[in-house]
Amino acid sequence: MNRLDHAHLFSSDIEKTVEFFTTMFGGTIVYDTELVGQRNVRVDIGGGAVHVYEQPPRGAGRPLIHHLGIRTDDLDALVAHMRAQGAAFPRGIREAPAFRYTMCEAPDGLLLELYQVKPGGEWMVGAGEPPPQDPAAAL
């Protein structure tokens, strides 16, 4: 079986970045060691992981990843927890037919999408078949 294992992030402040993912999402540090000449910290978040590489983001002050998608069972509770820790959600929570989501920034300007699958939307995460496409909706 293939599955996404991790996203690898550059970080200008590795302590701040690791603290963000452990505090905001209850992440667990799996290891903190030197790999290929640089400090590398693996943080497990609910079965997926981020690897934080002790090196500033490259190019124009922006990370190489557009966003990380973090699935949650309770979006409202996660957003409330993160707001209490100082996170900002400029556009609030948005509703889509199969899921609810919001966006916020992590250290170094990394964009995060936090989302909750609605009942019937399990196909989004590989469980079940997608609903039939309405040809008129594609126009």
Q: What is the pLDDT of residue 76?
A: 97
Cα separation, 137 vs 139, whole angstroms? 5
Nearest to 18 by CA among 37, 5, 4, 32: 32
Question: What topology is assigned to 6-128 in CATH?
Answer: 2,3-Dihydroxybiphenyl 1,2-Dioxygenase; domain 1 (3.10.180)
Q: Where are the domains of the chain?
A: 6-128
| pLDDT value at 127 more than 80 | no
Cα separation, 25 vs 44, whole angstroms? 10
Is this structure's pTM higher than 0.75? no
